[in-house]
Structures are given as C-alpha cells and as structure tokens.
Amino acid sequence: MSEKQYDAIIIGAGIIGNSIAYEMALKGYKTLNVDKLSGSGYGSTAGSCAIIRLYYSSPEGVALAREGYYYWLDWPRYLNVSDPDGMAYYKNTGAMVFKSEVNNNLVNITESLDKLGVGYLDLSPEDVKKYLPNPDLRAYHPQKLMDDPEFGKPTGEKINGAVYVPESGYVSDPKLSTHNVEMAARNVGSDFLFNAEVIDVLKKDGRVSGVALKDGTFIKAPVVVNVAGPHSYLINRMAGVEDQMNIKTRALRVEVAHVPSPEGVDWENTGTITSDSDTGVYTRPEVGNHFLIGSEEPKCDPLEYVDPDNYNLDFTDQARTQVLRQAMRLPNLPVPNKDQGLVDLYDVSDDWYPIYDKSSLPGFYLAIGTSGNQYKNAPVVGSFLTELIQYCESGNDHDTDPLQYQMKYLDYTLNIGFFSRNREINKDSSFSVIG
C-alpha cells in the first residue's frame, strides 16, 4: 500500500480537467490528474463535437464562450508547448441559428451578443439560401417522433429567419486538443495518472484530504477537484456532498449521426454550423465531406439517463430520426441505410448549465454538469477555477460573497456565483445542449 502527496488532485483528464491542471500549475500548485481510462480525453471529451460557438441563452453563457473563443485562436501561444502528437487547431465556419418559438426568435441571444459586441447578421428566410444548399424553408415545429403520422409534414409556410454569427467554428480533434493541454501542464510541473480508478474521497478534520484508488494507493492533497464528466455524480456521492446541492447531475446517453453531403456540395470546406430548433437538430461540417447531426432535445424526444459504466453503445431510432429531421431542411441530403456516427454521454445538470463551484466539503471543488456544451469554455474554466480555489482557500466564503472573475481577453467581470451548485434552476435555459 503506497501513499503520495500533492497540492491538488484533479479527478478526470478530459479537456476541462487538464485545463484546470495547467492553470493551477502556472500558479505554482503541484497537481495530479487521475483518470480511470488510459489517456487524456479518452472519455466524453473524445465524443465532443468540439463546436466553438457564441450563442447561449444567458449573457453569462455568451461571455464565457466569447472569452473561450480567443484562447482557441491563440492556442499554440497559450499552451507554450509543442506536442509531438501534433497540435489541434480551430477552423472557422460561421454559425447560423434559426429563429423559432423554442428560442423566442433569438431575442435573448441577440441581446446578449449585442452586450458583448459580437457581430452577426440578421437573416430573412430568403437570406438563409445563401448558407444552405437548396433548403426547404418551411416550418416543421413542433417536432414529432418517427412513428407519428405527422412526422415530416410542414406546419407553416416559412421559417422565421435566422442569425448568422461569423466568429464560430470547431476544433479539429478534441482528443488531441486535450493531449495538447496535458503536454502543456506536464511542461510546468503537473503529473498524470491513468488506468487509476478513484473508489473513495478521503476526509480528515472536517475537510477533504485526498483520494483512495482501486489498486490500494492513497494519494493525499488538501484540494480535490471533481471533473469526472458523466461519472461526476458518483464522485460527489463518495465525497458525501450530493445531498447538499440544489442542482445535481446525471449521465445522459446521446447519439450523433454522420451522413454524406448532398452530391456536388463541398460541405467540409464551405459549410457552416447550424442550430435549427425548428427541426430540432444542430449540424457542423465533418471530415470526409460529411454532415455531423446532433439533437437539440425537442420535447417529444425521450431523455435516456444511464449508468455511465453500463449503457447501450448501439444506435437506436434516435440517430435516424436526427438525420430525417435534417433532411426536412435539406431534401437532397443522402439518408444512408446504415447508421454512422457515435454514441456517447453528456454530464447533464438539472438546468443544463454547468456547476463551477466549491462544495459543502471544504477543499472539494466542482467543475461538472457540462451538458455537452462546455468543451469550448475549458481554458477559461481552468483559469477561474484556479482563482476560485485560491479565493476559498484564503478564507473567503464564495457562497455569500461570490468570486468576481476579471476575464483575460474581454473587458468583462463574470460572477462565478452564476454557476453555483445552490442556484435555483435557470428558467431562461434552453434545457438542451444549446445551454
């Protein structure tokens, strides 16, 4: 039985966990990331669509995404390291967000974009044709399941238009980007331990004191950060903090489909991200001249919460439903007989907004409930979680006097209390991957 000592243990080596390690190490902490898988980004990060977009349903969400955007533009200089496996890169595509009753015709989103000075175009239905190949611009909301006899039938003559945000795109390889951050963190003194499963969160004298691993190893630290993705609620139970949280998290099974572009369309190089709440799907260009098609969780679709260690890895009708919904908008879209894409998990909070916070156990911190939309924000989260830890460990009470984080790129102060575990459910949320 062995025992080691660190300043901070970070449970999870996904994009957010590694970003926290890097930022903490830059501030002088000796950190250790512990992950049950065999490498960085092998969990839900690997299945991320890695979309970098600025539209959220709250000003705080827009501000966080806007700040994160600049880190990705400045990726090699930010990390200050050369990864022998190569460096991930950001590809700008623009993003077109459709107006509908679901998103209040984007009134809240455009107000938030205006507040942050994010440029965009307000598109009429006719303007949308400039961004999509031969689209069907009829309305289809509200969405239905495939076995509904009204599935695929238009409900209105025309959509309400869209907003186009040119400063949007995606990162080439989410798993590689996570390895990039690991290399940067190692370069400034962080350690990583893989194939290591946490089975208990240790406590002493009323605060966290480390973790116990399945192989019998005890690792001591006065700070532990839960960044365990879909397993985060299990770690919270080990720590005994879940019952003291007003907002909780669960693992949600999701399917993402890949389909070829319509014949003669170079979507990989000329396509844009789309968010279409009228048809209930989002898309982005995918390698191989494909469309990547995910769900925006319309009300008719069941949400399948699962055991993160035991769930169905096969496609169901959900992936095919998403493809057919996209084909409503693009009638020339090929619909393959065999489903392609991936099945993975989101770590979903009750209101689909993340929890970035302390916990009721002193020294135990939370970066969870990322709900499929926080990949883009990882570098910023690393920065303010580090400040939050310093703030709380210096004796400040974040619950009553929340940390006010001054952003690096934006002239904006973010109230980190917005992401509290004890907040009331945010009724302005989309209650979907859109956030």
* Tens digit of each residue's pLDDT (9 = 90 or more) over 368-418: 999 889 999 999 999 999 999 999 999 999 999 999 999 999 999 999 999
Task: Quote the pTM value.
Answer: 0.97
- Burial environment of residue 200 by CB neighbours within 10 A (0 to 12, 13 to 18, 19 or more): middle
Per-residue pLDDT reduced to its tens digit, 152-186: 999 999 999 999 999 999 999 999 999 999 999 99
Exposure on the CB side of residue 425, measured as CA atoms within 13 A: 10
pLDDT reported for residue 427: 82
The band of 2, judged by pLDDT with boundaries at 50, 70 and 90, is low
Per-residue pLDDT reduced to its tens digit, 334-358: 999 999 999 999 999 999 999 999 9
Same fold? 3-86+173-248+351-419, 95-166+251-345 = no
Q: Are strands 8-11 and 223-226 parallel, antiparallel or unpaired?
A: parallel
Q: Tell me the C-alpha to C-alpha distance, in Å, between residue 239 and each of 129, 292, 303.
A: 53, 38, 27
CB 302 within 8 A of CB 125: no
With 70 as the cut, is the pLDDT of residue 108 above it? yes
The predicted model gives 23-45 an average pLDDT of 98
Mean pLDDT of the chain: 96
pLDDT reported for residue 111: 93
- For a pLDDT cut of 90, what percent of the chain falls above it? 94
With 50 as the cut, is the pLDDT of residue 191 above it? yes
Which architecture does CATH list for 3-86+173-248+351-419? 3-Layer(bba) Sandwich (3.50)
The band of 320, judged by pLDDT with boundaries at 50, 70 and 90, is very high
pLDDT reported for residue 59: 87
Nearest to 379, CA basis, from 367, 391, 389: 367
Q: The domain 95-166+251-345 is classified under which CATH number: 3.40.50.11540, 1.10.357.10, 3.30.9.10, 3.30.1330.10?
A: 3.30.9.10
CB 24 within 8 A of CB 191: no
pLDDT reported for residue 231: 98
Question: For the chain, which residues make up each domain, given as ranges?
Answer: 3-86+173-248+351-419, 95-166+251-345
The band of 57, judged by pLDDT with boundaries at 50, 70 and 90, is confident
Per-residue pLDDT reduced to its tens digit, 284-304: 999 999 999 999 999 999 999
pLDDT reported for residue 426: 84
CA distance 422 to 413: 21
pLDDT reported for residue 1: 46
Q: Tell me the C-alpha to C-alpha distance, in Å, between residue 306 and each of 45, 216, 303, 346.
A: 18, 28, 10, 10
With 80 as the cut, is the pLDDT of residue 114 above it? yes
The packing angle between helices 378-393 and 15-26, to 10°, is: 50
- Burial environment of residue 296 by CB neighbours within 10 A (0 to 12, 13 to 18, 19 or more): buried
The predicted model gives 17-45 an average pLDDT of 98
CA distance 347 to 363: 22
With 90 as the cut, is the pLDDT of residue 328 above it? yes
CA distance 103 to 253: 24
The predicted model gives 182-206 an average pLDDT of 98
The predicted model gives 190-212 an average pLDDT of 98
Per-residue pLDDT reduced to its tens digit, 408-420: 999 999 999 999 9
